[in-house]
Amino acid sequence: MFFHIFDLLLPGNFKLLNHITPFSNGWFGVEFFFVVSGYLMAANAYKNQSNSNSIGKSTFDFLKRKLLAVLPYHLIIFPISCIYILIVNFDGIDSLMNLVVKVIPNFLLIQRSGLTVKDVLGVEWYISEMLIAMLIIYPICKKYYDRFARTVAPVCSILIIGYLIKTTGTLGGSTAWSVLFSKTLLRAIAEICAGVFVFEVTRNIDKLNFSKKDKWFLTIFEVVSYIMIFAFIIWDFSENLSGTFFIFVCVAVCLSFSDVTYGKKVFNNKLVCYLGSLSLPLYLCQSLMRIVSVALFKRGLDFWVAVALFFVSTFVYAFVASLLEKRLRKVINAKIEKLSQY
């Protein structure tokens, strides 16, 4: 949220103490999302290796659960953003019909396939790419888990990330197109593959016996990894180092999910879980609130007032959306259960 609002309100060359930037590399948070998504996908594939379902059905069931996790929020927040855009840009029935047609790929969460004409919720690109990438990776991971997790996944991750850094200079950026795919799809595939490898490493190190000194050393290493990641986000490091800092993301996720550090004891609590549950609605709701806050800033609203308005309105919007989501989820689950009876 800091990254998105400061990116629009502050000059591009703004720095504190010559080197500290206001979250200018905040886009790097998406790397966590893809790695953790890959980790959890691999955990599911590993657990269900021996089930009797076909690869197609297993993939369908897995992606269905992923989609249903975000669908209620999408169905609430997407129409509201559409209505706002329509009110601001309404120019007769033609503008209405054009908007309806243009937003269909975004509504279906396939906007990064190349069909996008109008991004209503541009921040949903990472969800779109996750679903498409997992549709490709999950069946391979489940059918050939050992070979994929230990060899193919890390090799694909290294080669694709190296390619993106070499050709575009950064892991960031969401509009470039590379060969047959969007850059963001390649980024998602590479980092989800990294998450698969991280799961396999974590699964194996959990089998080892570590002394208290070893656990304290690994805990310190875990903390240092997060410090390095945060340093990249707020310091004026060149973006072509993002691939190197991505290594710290993989290390941090590996150690945080493992039982070999003391981090889990500190952060595995209700408060952190609640904040985690707020992350999706906050991320989606901030898109519209950012547009409103920036528009008011351009009309003369004080900078810090605009920032405060953005954060307060986003949290209120997310809280209301979370209440509506609970009701809508019950309706969706009831419909699915009814359909499954036929």
pLDDT of residue 224: 96
Tokens found for residue 103: 């937003």
Average pLDDT score over the chain: 90
Of the candidates 197, 184, 113, the one whose C-alpha atom is nearest the C-alpha of residue 156 is: 197
Weakest mean pLDDT among 223-227, 276-280, 317-321 = 276-280
Q: Which residue has the higher pLDDT, 117 or 264?
A: 264
340 — pLDDT class (breaks 50, 70, 90): low
Where does the pLDDT of residue 83 fall: very low under 50, low under 70, confident under 90, or very high at 90 and above? confident
Q: Per-residue pLDDT tens for 143-168?
A: 999 999 999 999 999 999 999 999 99
Distance CA 197, CA 137 (A): 13
CB-CB contact of 221 with 63 (8 Å): no
Q: Is the predicted pLDDT of residue 49 greater than 90, yes or no?
A: no
Give long-range contacts, CB 8 A cutoff, 24+ apart: 295-301. 297/9
More confident residue, 263 or 26: 26
Query: 295-339 pLDDT, tens per residue?
Result: 999 999 999 999 999 999 999 999 999 999 989 988 888 887 777
- Asked if residue 116 has pLDDT above 70, the reply is no
Give me the mean pLDDT over the 177-200 stretch: 91
CA distances for 194 relative to 89, 248, 288, 291, angstroms:
42, 12, 32, 34
Structure tokens at 315: 């949290």
**The tokens of 230 are what?**
């945060």
Reported as a pLDDT band with limits 50, 70 and 90, residue 342 is low
Average pLDDT score over residue span 54-83: 91
Q: What are residue 205's phi and psi, to 5 degrees?
A: -70, -25
SS (H, E, C) the chain: CHHHHHHHHCCCCCCECCCECCCCCHHHHHHHHHHHHHHHHHHHHHHCCCCCCCHHHHHHHHHHHHHHHHHHHHHHHHHHHHHHHHHHHCCCHHHHHHHHHHCHHHHCCCHHHCCCCCCCCHHHHHHHHHHHHHHHHHHHHHHCHHHHHHHHHHHHHHHHHHHHHHHHCCCCCCCCEECCEEHHHHHHHHHHHHHHHHHHHHHHHCCCCCCHHHHHHHHHHHHHHHHHHHHHHHECCCHHHHHHHHHHHHHHHHHHHCCCCCHHHHHCCHHHHHHHHHHHHHHHHHHHHHHHHHHHHHCCCCHHHHHHHHHHHHHHHHHHHHHHHHHHHHHHHHHHHHHCCC
Rounded to an integer, what distance in angstroms lies between the CA atom of residue 233 and that of residue 216? 26
Cα Rg of the chain (Å, integer): 21
pLDDT of residue 45: 94
User: Quick check: 50 pLDDT over 90?
Assistant: no
One-letter amino acid identity for 29? Answer: G
Average pLDDT rounded to a whole number, residues 180-208? 94
Tell me how far apart the alpha carbons of residues 28 and 172 are, in angstroms, rounded to a whole number: 7
Give Cα separations from 31 to 36, 37, 241 (angstroms). 9, 10, 14
Taking residues 209-238, report their average pLDDT.
Answer: 94
Which pLDDT value is given to residue 96? 77
pTM for this structure?
0.91
Backbone φ/ψ region at 114: left (φ over 0), alpha (ψ -120 to 50), beta: left
Looking up tokens 């004080």 gives: 302
- Quick one: pLDDT at residue 134? 96
pLDDT at 26 over 80: yes
What's the token pair of residue 188? Answer: 């998602």
Q: Which of 221-230, 239-248, 260-269, 294-303 has the lowest mean pLDDT?
A: 260-269
